[in-house]
Chains A and B, each alone.
Chain A
Amino acid sequence: MAVYKRRYASYLGSVTPERSRFLVLTRYAFTELFASRFFVILLILSLVPCLFFACYIFLANSKTVQMLLPMGPTNLFSVDARYFTIMMIVQTQVAFLLNCWVGPVLIAGDLTNGALPLFLSRPFSRSEYVLGKLSVLALLLSGVTWIPCLFLFGLQAGLARNGWLWSHVWMVVPIVVCSAIWILMLSLLSLAVSAWVKLRIVATGVIFIAFFVPAGLGEMFNSIMGTYWGRLLNFSDMFRLILAQAFREQSASGILGPITWNQIPVPAAWGVLILLCLLSLVVLNARLRAREAVRG
């Protein structure tokens, strides 16, 4: 089908491996994202807290700098499980904001003008389509959660020495696992919203509503019934509960607010997050179809 010949010809060349073809969607989505200046600024801003955390590590390990402080050398600066728990909480909230901007456009753009049948009429399944879109959020949110956390962990290990690495190496697992849980939940939720609501601003609003309205309703339920179980509807708190347990926090105060360990069991928090993921999958399954089913 060369241009100068103006004749149709079949394609007889090589094809890319099927199992990695979902990455085409990821690549194209990233190209679109990085074409937006606002997104680039947002991404840079979302890494700013990491700079402060890095400064803290530097401060904690530099006696020279500590001497310059009014109180002189002190043991106030400690880089331990609590430090990483707080960092994880900050960065997961940043990831939430980033997700609210990026997530809503990923599927809606394809659904608005009916492009989905074009993907699915190719050797490309619905799950591969979701995987391709999910990878965009997974890579992006990883860049602001566990990757900078591990980087700072490495920085601290390098600066502290004296066996700090070996006594704290167990924290690598909760950093990665808790980030993965949060990223998966956020990604699935925003993809489900993106498949359901086509307008970005409305979709962003729906994601906020999905997080804050149930939390508010839960608090109302708690006040009326005099219980703590309404807290189950606060997904951020449920994540913090898992996070605190994973980082072996002895006391949850300050991280979980008024909540205590025995009020909401951690398996219940896991159940809520898993349920939210399943619900998102159900919505995706219902919305991502090449054709609507005829009813009646």
Chain B
Amino acid sequence: MMNPTIELNGLEVQLGGRTILHGLTGVLKSRAIGLLGPNGAGKSTLINTLLGFHAPSKGSVRVLGLDSHANGKELRSLVGYMPENDAFISKMSGVRFVRYMAEVSGLPPEQAMERAHEAFVYVGLGEARYRPVGTYSLGMKQLAKLAQAIAHGPKVLILDEPTNGMDPPARKRLIELIREIREASDICLLLSSHLLRDVEETCDEVLILRNGKIASICDLVEERRANRKFLELETIGAEATFTSTLEGLGCECAVFTNGRIKVVMPDSVEIKEVFKVAADRGVQIRRMNHRRDSLEDIFLNAMEQTGAPDGRI
């Protein structure tokens, strides 16, 4: 049986006498996991605990079946880590820096050199690889950090706020790279971000933290499959027969003042059928807003609700 990607067993972490993570319990099975939460929720602390930088004060966390504390070294040999903050040796050329990191990971010098060049070209910094990392722009430094995280071919890639400080085209390129890496191999991905779009575009499962507790564990694939369509209508002349006809099609309707109606449509009903019913009943549709439940809804919902004892909502 395959090990879950991350297994949290009542994980509690204290730093400086303060409890940062409060008994996290949950199992994350997907290959691409997003870690969401507002600032100070404990995302980076959880990542640091996974990497063995902090010892759990209670409970444990396992990554691919390996305990972060007891099997720390073994676990770290599988990991590629891209930290949130600046992490480089400024006087070294980009390719030398990545080669150095690959050698520290255990690659023989020749292979490390080869993989460093490959990683640099792969992330799109081929032309800048001989320049000192200190002279790179912010976006280039992010890519250099990604290069050092993948050069040694890890099985688990941990990315902490990878798109921080990047302009939209650079961000798009980085997200594409992350998706490419995910799809090109059997690598497991843990991406921490406060940008919902980054997580939505790259991950299959989301762990939402709030105040050091699990606010939600959400399977995005399942959620996308079961997602329902919402229509927000502003109408003139809508009577009870309009909503009852829609309900007859399988929709759920909620009527508000000034002709505003919210409609939840099953997958079998198309929008054109709503227009048809409106035309038949002589109802004017002045405004229509069509949307699906997004990660933002899931996130906001998790932020508003109190977590259940097991952390699930």
Name A's B-contacting residues (CB within 8 A): 1-3, 6-16, 18, 21, 24-25, 28, 32, 109-110, 112-115, 117-125, 289-291, 293-296
Contacts and interface: CB of A to CB of B under 8 A. Distances in A.
B230 interface: no
Nearest to B184: A8
A14 B112 CA distance: 11
Contact of A118 (B111, B148, B180): B148
A109 B101 CA distance: 15
Nearest to B126: A3
Contact of A16 (B48, B88, B107, B184): B107
B24 to A, nearest CB: 17
A123 B102 CA distance: 11
A191 B83 CA distance: 25
A110 B91 CA distance: 10
Contacts of A296: 16, 18
Interface in B101-135: 101, 103-108, 111, 115, 117-119, 121-122, 126, 134
A16 to B, nearest CB: 5
17 contacts: A1-B150, A6-B122, A8-B185, A18-B73, A21-B104, A32-B91, A109-B90, A114-B88, A117-B51, A118-B83, A120-B53, A121-B83, A122-B76, A122-B77, A122-B105, A123-B74, A123-B77
Interface string B50-73: 010110000000000000000001
Contacts of B20: 294
B73 A125 contact: yes
A293 B49 CA distance: 12
B98 to A, nearest CB: 10
B181 interface: yes
A6 B121 contact: yes
Nearest to B77: A123
- Which 5 A-B pairs have CB atoms at the shortest separation, nearest pair first? A11-B153, A15-B106, A121-B81, A295-B16, A123-B77
Nearest to B74: A123
A215 to B, nearest CB: 34
Given A10-B186, A115-B88, 13 more contacts: A2-B118, A7-B184, A13-B108, A15-B107, A21-B106, A24-B103, A32-B91, A109-B89, A122-B79, A122-B104, A123-B105, A291-B53, A294-B16
Given A289-B53, A290-B53, A9 B89 contact: no
Interface in B1-35: 15-18, 20
Query: Which of B104, B121, B148 counts the most A-chain CB atoms under 10 A from its CB?
Result: B104
B100 A11 contact: no
A3 B117 contact: yes
Range class of the B interface residue count: 35 or more
A117 B16 contact: no
A113 B118 contact: no
Nearest to B124: A6
B148 A290 contact: no
Contact of B153 (A1, A24, A25, A293): A1
B54 A291 contact: yes
Nearest to B79: A121
Contacts, number: 136
A113 B86 contact: yes
A25 B86 contact: no
Contacts of B90: 109, 112-113
Given A10-B187, A115-B88, A123-B77, A290 B51 contact: yes
Contacts of B186: 10
Given A1-B153, A8-B185, A114 B83 contact: yes
B153 A110 contact: no
Contacts of B153: 1, 9-12
B210 interface: no
B136 to A, nearest CB: 11
B54 to A, nearest CB: 7
A65 to B, nearest CB: 49
A187 B122 CA distance: 40
Nearest to B183: A8
B75 to A, nearest CB: 9
A133 to B, nearest CB: 13
B108 A121 contact: no
B244 interface: no
Contacts of A123: 73-74, 76-77, 105-106
Contacts of A13: 107-108, 111
Contact of A117 (B81, B122, B152): B81
Contacts of A32: 91
A24 B118 contact: no
Contacts of B195: none
A9 B185 CA distance: 6
Nearest to A290: B53
A16 B106 contact: yes
Interface string B215-229: 000000000000000
Contacts of A1: 115, 118-119, 122, 150, 153
B288 interface: no
B310 to A, nearest CB: 27
Contacts of A119: 101, 104
